[in-house]
Amino acid sequence: MNKLDKKLIRFKIENIDTLPTIPGALKKLLKVFENQKVSLSEIGNFISSDPVLATKVLKMVNSPVYGFPGRISSVSQAVILLGLNVVKGLLLGVSVFELMQRSMIGLWEHSMGCSMAARLIAKKKGLKEPEEVSIAGLLHDIGKVIMILQFHEHYGYAMKQAEDRNIVISEAEESVFAITHADAATWMTQKWRFPGNLIEIIRYHHKPHLSKIVPVETAIVYISDILVRARGFGFAGDNTIPVVNPVIWESLGLTELDLADVFKELDDSIEDAGILTLE
């Protein structure tokens, strides 16, 4: 199968909101995101105006992914506690939930697992904003959804290549598209005016050594992705467990005891996470 033109790929990815398969609520949300001056109150009003969306947001906020299990009862409370950056990412996550489930079985579960692991490691490292790292974990593979929606046949071929050649999906994407899901997500989150830190983590979640702004946070999502794969939780597009870059692992300074704690808490959180369905 021939590679697609890179300019065409970027154009179609940046215009994903024109697809008839995109839910109306998500289209409205993306328009809200394109307003660089959007406020917390506007975001809160947007959520509250859609009962289904509001229910999903509250269910997610009260899940093991965050530190408020069962304690947040209103959208306004969630918005104030989490802040604009986290709420924007959370909104995007719950809005693409159905698209993730339709596009690749197991991708939502993988993303949720990565989100949980990222938050646990961020807390171990004493980061001030573990929720922002968690959101990056939730959205790190959103580029796969975008690519599947716009280039379904080509992406299916890439997944077949990953299986046949026993390679990671990003390597297969590169051979078919000349870009990866990280590139696709970067273009989209830039268009949606997401915070620079979040864009950078998503962009370099497979190459954290290239991150200049948030290298620790990017390394956390990189490690979380591999840990969740190793745990066999969800499906990220291939059956490969990448070898951890020892330099990146050492940069985080995690001990074997830390890793055992993260695995235990992750397993407990996954077991408790009825949020995985968001139904």
The CATH number covering residue 186 comes to: 1.10.3210.10
Q: Which residues contact 248 (CB under 8 A, 6 or more apart)?
A: 208, 209, 219, 222, 223
Q: Is residue 189 part of a domain?
A: yes
For residue 54 the two structure tokens come to 């509001």
Query: What is the enclosing helix (H) or strand (E) of 258?
Result: helix 256-272
Band (pLDDT 50/70/90 cuts) for residue 72 is confident
Can you tell me whether residue 132 is helix, strand or coil? Answer: helix
Q: Is residue 264 part of a domain?
A: yes
Q: Is residue 1 part of a domain?
A: no
Range of the domain at 56: 6-276
Q: Is residue 199's pLDDT more than 80?
A: yes
Q: Is residue 136 part of a domain?
A: yes
Highest-confidence segment of 78-82, 92-96, 243-247: 243-247
140 close to 111: Cβ distance less than 8 angstroms: yes
202 close to 182: Cβ distance less than 8 angstroms: yes
- Residues 26 and 276: their CA atoms lie apart, in Å, by 19
Q: What pLDDT, on the 0 to 100 scale, is given for residue 248?
A: 94
Q: Is residue 10 part of a domain?
A: yes
Q: Is 27 exposed, middle or buried (0-12, 13-18, 19+ CB in 10 A)?
A: middle
193 close to 229: Cβ distance less than 8 angstroms: no
Q: Is residue 193 part of a domain?
A: yes
Count of domains for the chain: 1
Q: Is residue 240 part of a domain?
A: yes
Cα 199 to Cα 77, 171, 190, 253, 275, distances in angstroms: 26, 21, 7, 24, 25
Q: Is residue 212 part of a domain?
A: yes
